[in-house]
Amino acid sequence: MKNILEIENLTKFYNKSFKALENINLNIKEGEIFALLGPNGAGKSTLINSICGIVNFNTGTIKINDMDIIKNYRSTRKITGIVPQELNLETFETVWNNVNYTRGLFGKKPDHKYIEKLLRQLSLWDKKDNKIKELSGGMKRRVLIAKALSHQPKLLFLDEPTASVDVELRKDMWDVVKKLNKDGVTIILTTHYIEEAEELSDRVAVINEGKIILIDEKDKLIKKLGEKTIKIELIQPIDKINGNLSKYNFTLEQSNSVLSHTYNLSSNITDITELLNDVKKDGYKIKDVSMEQSSLEQIFVKLIKENNNELVRN
Ligand SMILES: Nc1ncnc2c1ncn2[C@@H]1O[C@H](COP(=O)(O)OP(=O)(O)O)[C@@H](O)[C@H]1O
Ligand SMILES: [Mg+2]
């Protein structure tokens, strides 16, 4: 597959001295869903805003479809759509007017059939005559998507598409993204939810303090980074772990009354039902069971530590 986006040695300073992006190199293939994963302040929005011409960068080159985004500003803008992180809509206008107007801004002829199809696809058709201020948060975000797609871009950027969207709507949003991708749109999204990257993306880049510290296929990344911990609280404390339980690498915590087992998210070695059965078979009485998934925050800490160690070793 050919690259639809090529970024070389991109650097961005704010206020001349704050380095928000440092030497970013990134290629995106046509047809991919690519997730930029990183904590708040990592530089995700700065990166996609630089690509979309909303933010001026300092050094480096960005090419979309082999065209330099500065030299070929108009042509590259035409094939790019962005759904910004902030909701910025004309609240007194209707959904229909908002979306058609945006299409016009890209110099495209009106196409009511296409806009109708788009609004239906985003479950906004029955709201087309409503003013933006009459919509829920999730609907507003879908209007932003409709606007970003109004000129039929090939490359779509979604900046935190599901931040502050509740769990149910998040799933709908994921379906929308998958459907768009199936219809041929290349998608780059930013997120700080690892589940979101896991659900949607083919490849993931982890960005921290303005640097890409890792790019990998999603499956490999999850294997490397994701962990879950199951904690089993027992009614009676125990001296040591034996019997059926010795095959799990449990550790004993909290005055020996909690069995804790951490396992990799991608490994299907740990069958929780079997694990609980083994605890029961050994005659232990369970008071409580809880699961913890390593937060992205913890994963970052681990990753950055490893990253730094590697730098020291080399
Ligand atoms: N307009 C701006 N002026 C100065 N600093 C900014 C500006 N926009 C973002 N920053 C800073 O740049 C860093 C990266 O921000 P941003 O790209 O918004 O991160 P993210 O989207 O990953 O949360 C942060 O430290 C942020 O405070
Ligand atoms: Mg952001």
Site to probe by mutation for ligand 1, drawn from 46, 188, 193 as the one with most ligand atoms within 8 Å of Cβ, is 46
The torsion defined by the Cα of 188, 191, 194 and 199, in degrees rounded to 10, comes to -40
Q: Pick the residue whose CA is nearest to atom 4 on ligand 1.
A: 14
Q: Are 206 and 243 in contact (CB under 8 A)?
A: no
Between the CA of 218 and the centroid of ligand 1 the distance, in Å, is 26
> Which regions of the chain carry the CATH code 3.40.50.300?
3-224
| Pocket of ligand 1 contains residue 40 by CB under 6 Å | yes
In degrees rounded to 5, what are phi and psi of residue 129?
-95, 0
Q: Pick the residue whose CA is nearest to atom 20 on ligand 1.
A: 41
| Residue owning tokens 């990183």 | 38
> Which regions of the chain carry the CATH code 3.30.70.1560?
227-293
Name which CATH class applies to 3-224: alpha beta
Q: Are 95 and 124 in contact (CB under 8 A)?
A: yes
Q: Would you state the pLDDT for residue 314? A: 47
| Pocket of ligand 1 contains residue 21 by CB under 6 Å | no
- The architecture (CATH level 2) of 227-293 comes to 2-Layer Sandwich (3.30)
Which tokens go with 66?
A: 């082999």
In degrees rounded to 5, what are phi and psi of residue 264?
-75, 140
Contacts of 281 (CB under 8 A, 6+ apart): 243, 244
**What is the number of the ligand 1 atom nearest to the C-alpha of 160?**
21
- pLDDT tens per residue across all 314 residues of the chain: 899 999 999 999 999 899 999 999 999 999 999 999 888 889 999 999 999 999 999 999 999 999 999 999 999 999 999 998 887 888 899 999 999 999 999 889 999 999 999 999 888 999 999 999 999 888 898 999 999 999 999 999 999 988 767 777 788 888 889 999 999 999 999 987 877 888 899 999 989 889 998 898 887 776 667 778 889 999 999 888 888 888 888 888 888 899 998 887 766 556 778 888 888 888 889 999 998 876 655 666 677 667 666 655 54
Determine how many CB atoms are found less than 10 A away from the CB of residue 150.
Answer: 23
Strand-by-strand arrangement of the 3-14 sheet:
18-29, 3-14, 59-64, 67-68
Euclidean distance between CA atoms 92 and 98, whole angstroms: 10
Kindly identify the ligand whose nearest atom is closest to the C-alpha of 22: 1
Q: Are 35 and 205 in contact (CB under 8 A)?
A: yes
